Amino acid sequence: MYQNLDMNYSFLQACNLYNPHGILVPMLEDQKPLQIPASKKWKGITIFCGKCKTNVSDICKEKKDGKPLKHCDFGNRHFYKLYLGIPGTSKRLTKNLGRDLDSAILRAIEFEKTQKENNYQTSVNKDKEEKKAKNVEQNKPDNIENAMARYVGFLNNDPEIVSGFREKLRSKKHLQDIERNFKHFIACLKLNGWKPSEIGINGITEQMLSKFHEYLLKNLELSNSSYNRIVTEFVCLYNFLINNQGFNIRNPFKGIPKRSVNLPNEIITEGEFKKLLEIVQRPELGKSKLSDGTIKYLHKPFVKDFIEMGLYSGRRTDEIAHMTWDNVFTDDKGKPVYIKIVDFIATRQKDNPKYVFVPATE
């Protein structure tokens, strides 16, 4: 099948063949411990670790072994935090600023400006929080269209819906996908004679779900995996309404059977694998043009080693990205024996990581 693998073969397609459990595009930057370069130091901004519950220094406190911060296993729990002193007092205000340093600096400037304009009136802030709580109750969505709009606001960290410490960064593509799928649902309702603005939160019927099922598969001709993803998005919408907005209702999308997704087991030969390694060492063959016209090169210098490590270890992409030299164990003669790796699937959101041990073979 792959005998004619040529130099224009997409790295993202080929990468999926050697490691079916991997993530096609490693989210390396989102997992690393945060740093503040000397050129970007800003008064009051520090790094806070959600794992250690303290400000981050150059040494990882959680590991308790004096390891430099760059070896911290909990880099994805770091975020930038602002400490703003109130003039003439010993009090200070704090604000979580997310994981992007440039955005954090801009938000810090805006926050300080706002506080100065309000004369640092903490009592005013307290009143605002109380008013916000009342508004949450008053602004509960009363129909399915408003519910979708409020959920989209929640996903975009609207400050009227999401407290600063609960903010979560989501990709632009993910947000666009959800909004597009919500529009599909609205279009389906209108196509079948329903007015979305007149359908209450608890007004989704089995007939509506049946029509939406047909709309996704027949009108849009979506694949089973896309169908499953959309159903999951609507399950999350109603989970938000129930758990966040306080609605005592059933989740009409929960329990919809997932459609089977059978991924083909494709195999490449040793020769084709070597050809792949040649391809990823040529940056011009990994050239990709984004929707905004930006040119992005996918074939980074580390990709060849990354692919080989995936093949020889059989581990997932994010696990390979977190491998460090201090987890390579050797025998008395200094010959590598095994590599200690965190099992990310078994460990995710747990305090005690589970490790797997990969033999170091020749």
| Joined tokens for residue 322 | 């977190």
| Joined tokens for residue 156 | 């975009």
pTM over 0.75: no
| Joined tokens for residue 13 | 């397609």
Specify the higher pLDDT residue, 314 or 351. 314
User: What pLDDT was estimated at residue 212?
Assistant: 96
Specify the higher pLDDT residue, 199 or 116. 199
**Each residue of 76-135: pLDDT tens digit?**
788 889 998 888 888 888 888 888 888 888 988 988 888 888 877 654 455 555 555 555
Residue 29 β-bridge partners: none
Residue with tokens 């509960």: 140
User: What pLDDT was estimated at residue 3?
Assistant: 45
- Structural element, H or E, at residue 275: helix 270-280
Quickly state the pLDDT bin for 193 (edges 50, 70, 90): very high
Cα maximum dimension of the chain? 77
| Joined tokens for residue 9 | 């073969």
Q: Where are the domains of the chain?
A: 1-20+266-314, 28-120, 140-243, 315-362
**Each residue of 216-260: pLDDT tens digit?**
999 999 999 999 999 999 999 999 999 988 899 999 999 999 999
Compute φ and ψ for 48, nearest 5 degrees: -115, 140
- Judge whether 276 and 5 are in contact, CB under 8 Å: yes
d(CA 156, CA 171): 10
Q: Minimum mean pLDDT among 85-89, 127-131, 144-148, 329-333: which range? A: 127-131
> Is the pLDDT at 213 greater than 60, yes or no?
yes
- Judge whether 239 and 153 are in contact, CB under 8 Å: no
Q: Which of 296, 294, 300, 269 is nearest to 282 (CA)?
A: 300
Helix, strand, coil fractions of the chain, as percent rounded to 5: 45, 10, 40
